[in-house]
Amino acid sequence: NAGVTQTPKFRVLKTGQSMTLLCAQDMNHEYMYWYRQDPGMGLRLIHYSVGEGTTAKGEVPDGYNVSRLKKQNFLLGLESAAPSQTSVYFCASSYSLRANTQYFGPGTRLTVL
């Protein structure tokens, strides 16, 4: 039982490049989330999903897109990276909307030059 995994762990992009971050969970959770954490700050929700094939915007969705084609995977895409998107990205999952117990992945450290 690996829990929540994220790939890649680190990535450096140039402004304007695109990339996809992959989150996978093996706990059969319905709900998945993408957060970003900037230095010295708390987490901010980017997008979330309440089930396979559904996604919704969070607090800071601009510049990001997401897809949930399979229940266990939640992808975060940056179509045209900007330096303001330099951050640590965390994926999380939870069993249900009634559960505020979220399980987090180890994070992806992204730098946009």
Instruction: Give the x/- contact pattern for another protein in 2-21, rule: CB under 8 A.
Output: --x-----------------
Q: Does 33 bind another protein (CB under 8 A)?
A: yes
Do the beta carbons of residue 47 and residue 57 sit within 8 Å? Answer: yes
Q: Does 45 bind another protein (CB under 8 A)?
A: yes
> How far apart (Å, rounded) are the C-alpha atoms in residues 18 and 21?
10
Instruction: Give the x/- contact pattern for another protein in 89-108, rule: CB under 8 A.
Output: -x-x-x--xxxxxxxxxxx-
Do the beta carbons of residue 34 and residue 91 sit within 8 Å? Answer: yes
> How far apart (Å, rounded) are the C-alpha atoms in residues 91 and 49?
11
Name the DSSP class of 63. Answer: T
Kindly tell me which of 17 and 45 has the beta carbon lying closer to another protein.
45
Q: Which residues bind another protein (CB under 8 A)?
A: 4, 31, 33, 35, 42-43, 45, 48, 56, 58-59, 90, 92, 94, 97-107
